[in-house]
Structure 1
Amino acid sequence: MKCYEKFAHIYDDLINTDIDYNVWYEKIINLCKELNIPRRDYLDLACGTGNLTEKLAPHFQTAWGVDLSYEMLTEADKKLRSKGLKVNLIRQDISGLNLNKKFALITCCLDSTNYILDELNLKNYFKSVFNHLDSNGMFIFDVNSHYKITNILGNNTYTYDSEEITYIWENFLENEIVDMYLTFFIKDKELYRRFDEHHRERAYTCDYIEKILTDCNLHIITKLDNYQDKPPAPTSLRIVYAVKKNI
């Protein structure tokens, strides 16, 4: 599956029109204050180009970012260095995390958890988080809701057109997994370059996620609708979990 390769170079241009990272950052920082999370070591899983890492890293003594895409990490490195931020960037699969270090705060945002497609890898992911979390640490992650994947993304096609970027986004849903085929046309001087990407996400119900969390000795502190101060509704598009170790 080709994923986040050439897309890395235009990722911020597209995502920043839809995602307000300031809102996410403020909610995460407020949760850290409310729960007295130490400002020691921070880890951002599936950090991508470092948009959230950039905002949270200055509040911690050390910051780490992990992603499976070399291209995304390259973009993150350039961005963080330009801001004068020292962040340790590691290429690893978050389902097999092995950093030999514990963290006061771990995040995994922007539906990266949905990219984990089977129960074994989901359990390994949550177990890895447990093993890397301080005894008083907090893990915050979000998922595209079951409603969003099955009713909004589903078997639908979306298009986007601007002066510099045009894309066609075709989705096919089967057995709770949505296959997303994206075709991009990027303006390069007088020509447009084409490239294709294939992404897959699984639709997880809250009950399913919460059972796996319990199995992995992680208990829920709070559950939110898209980083807002309200609980999820049946039609929420993004569900946020803040969890701690059950020890």
Structure 2
Amino acid sequence: MERRPIIALDFASKEEIIQFLKKFPKEEALFVKIGMELFYQTGPEIVSFLKSSGHDVFLDLKLHDIPNTVKKAMSGLAKLGVKITNVHAAGGIEMMEAAKAGLIEGTPTGEAVPELIAVTQLTSTSEKQMHEDQLIPVSLQESVLHYAKCADKAGLDGVVCSALEVAAIHQATNPDFVCLTPGIRPQGASVGDQKRVMTPADAKKIGSTYIVVGRPITQAENPYESYLQIKNEWNGEK
């Protein structure tokens, strides 16, 4: 089955999204990511708009709060019909279990429960920052693996992680554990504010389940051409 890179729609308004989507063929079914910037500006309506346009949605809100609050929030988000959503693993196993329960509880009868994944360490975080800002003394990889094992124990489908950590996470959990990897950059592209990056081809080799690509597509002169190039590379095509 052909895999689609998830496009990070890091825009501030629905109007910007509409203009961006006009650069793609209408029949092209995309997999897109809605983050905090867009969701907080537009609300759930943007999810409905994208779904009605034939696109799948990863709702990237990274919930992190007390278990009961996260459970209730997830119950509400489940009604939006997204494909994937997430929490912060730092919230702990009890919180992640509550998030999963809320997601199952809120999913309308007959519809698929969205995949629930947990953020380990942001790909913008370096080991030095983790040590100094979070006071976590272990290595970055040890921290990521610990969070991944906690997410697995909580019954989540997988994690958000750097592609550099995918192989170790699969060894620590199981081969089917979802590894969604942002920080993907085509060969020669600027890394921006990402610290731990990888090309689509390398992410494929190492076993990433999903890849997320933002600026190399959204800020490209020809977004559709850039999308196809990354999609082909992700699927092992020239």
User: The TM-score by the shorter chain falls in which range?
Assistant: 0.3 to 0.5
Normalized per residue, which structure has more strand? 1
Q: Give me the TM-score of the superposition, normalised by structure 2.
A: 0.32
Normalized per residue, which structure has more helix? 2
Q: Give me the TM-score of the superposition, normalised by structure 1.
A: 0.31
